Amino acid sequence: MALKTVEEYIASLRELKTRVYMFGEKIDNWVDHPMIRPSINCVAMTYELAQDPQYKDLMTVKSELTGETINRFTNLHRNTEDLRNKVKMQRLLGQKTASCFQRCVGMDCFNAEYSTTFEIDEKYGTHYHENFKKFLAFVQHNDLVVDGAMTDPKGDRSKAPHAQADPDLFVHVVERREDGIVVCGAKCHQTGSVNSHWHIFMPTIAMGPDDKDWAVSFACPTDAEGMYLIYGRQSCDTRKMEEGASIDVGNAKFGGQEALVVLDHVFIPNEYIFMNGEYDFAGMLVERFAGYHRQSYGGCKVGVGDVVIGAAALAAEYNGVEKASAVKDKIIEMIHLNETLYCCGIACSAEGVPTKAGNYQIDLLLANVCKQNVTRFPYEIVRLAEDIAGGLMVTMPSAADFNSDTPVGRNGETIGEICNKFFVGREGVSTENRQRIMRFLENMCLGAAAVGYRTESMHGAGSPQAQRIMISRQGDIAGKKAMAKAIAGITD
């Protein structure tokens, strides 16, 4: 197979027996649920573009594991060109969906697991690397969506996993058997979890000898016995369930999603285990996955930022202020900030280096600088977009009011006629179009899409402080001191 069509992807989801819960109830037909389907549409775009000859070179690549043409989201990066094309692909998908297309975590996990398992085997003589290669070949051939699950609930963050009052606050092994392991715990904030065929679970922090049972990594089908998902709420999410509310939703076709993933005594066969007690490699896996994922933000957030900028420019045009110098300057600043993020994503890719396993890793310092900027610049881009749009984006009556035929005026004018009369913009622009762009900006800046742009820019791939810690480690302060001493003529 190697490359699925959109139709085949949707059909494959229907075949799963994934247990999804929302608002305290089990959702049987989650594929067609109005709150979930937009996020599925986002993932489907990764399949649609891979079938489009226009994007063939960006969206597909030849696998060194299977020899087949595969979706780039299942690829192992073999050179710096692969790393750069990854970022370009993510920007394209952000432009096409204006939301989170959810396959990045799996792709970043693949590359981190590939190099880390190689080095675990090198030290301990284990067989994790071969396990992983066979699993990835299976994923590539079937063009599967795999969720990379790293973030544990953590409980008391001042305590290590083994010291928690409840051991389930970090995913851990509760039983080791001859044919595999049994695991318990949970992963939270899991992007695209419901829409994935499989999950790969990873440690979330560096660990010590007492944390051996928590130093575990493995693959698991999303509908495995004992595994279930509780869907996360988003701002304004129930608008998707309102009849005739496509305008109020803002981005009615696409959206992101997160979930709490619970493992309740799930059995994992040996062939799907990639780490089992090698605590000294937990930090390496975390650092490498985080590096790849922080690189990703220099692509996906930039693509979504392109759409935010375009929407702000349209709002200015519909309001009749697009020629004002102050508005022009704000648009220029938004472009400057967005392209700076893209520069970071490309730079850490161009400076990539090969790992011992042979796949390429980004420059970790520059990847962390990239993500640190992402925790700031989208907030300013959104602030400027809200400034340009005006307050109407958050005070406008509903679509039902604009369409209402209920008479309220002295001369029998309806609520709809009143709304259309007083919310008109510049001449030649329909009130509906102005209404649509305002709601779209509300969705991007404050609503459900903000989870995949603004707020997620802050916390995705680790908190801002996590990047600053890595910048400190990778920044080579000692080397910089030596440079200054040499030029200043200082000898110790």
Catalytic residues: 100, 104, 191, 258, 293, 297, 300, 456
Distance CA 415, CA 423 (A): 12
Distance CA 435, CA 36 (A): 24
Residue 184's identity, in one-letter code, is C
Which distant-in-sequence residues (6+ apart) come within 8 Å of 491 by Cβ? 485
**Coil vs helix vs strand at 228:** strand
Number of neighbours of residue 158 by Cβ within 10 angstroms:
6
**Coil vs helix vs strand at 276:** strand
Name the residue with tokens 């309220």. Answer: 408
Task: Give the DSSP H or E segment for 27.
Answer: strand 25-27
312, 385 contact by CB (below 8 A): yes
Phi first, then psi: give them for residue 85, nearest 5 degrees. -65, -30
Measured in residues, the chain has a length of: 492
Strands 227-231 and 20-22: parallel
Question: Which two three-digit tokens encode residue 28?
Answer: 């049987």
Which distant-in-sequence residues (6+ apart) come within 8 Å of 3 by Cβ? 47, 50, 51, 60, 69, 70, 71, 143
DSSP state of 181: E
- Give 52: exposed, middle or buried? Use CB within 10 Å, 0-12, 13-18, 19+: exposed
Phi first, then psi: give them for residue 56, nearest 5 degrees. -55, -50
310, 256 contact by CB (below 8 A): no
Distance CA 417, CA 486 (A): 76
Which distant-in-sequence residues (6+ apart) come within 8 Å of 477 by Cβ? none
Nearest residue to 282 via CA among 218, 203, 212, 213 = 203
> Within 13 Å of residue 101, how many CA atoms lie on the same side as its CB?
29
Question: Which two three-digit tokens encode residue 124?
Answer: 């301990």
DSSP state of 238: G
C-alpha Rg value of the chain to the nearest Å: 24
Distance CA 369, CA 377 (A): 12
CA 450 to chain centre: 12
31, 37 contact by CB (below 8 A): yes
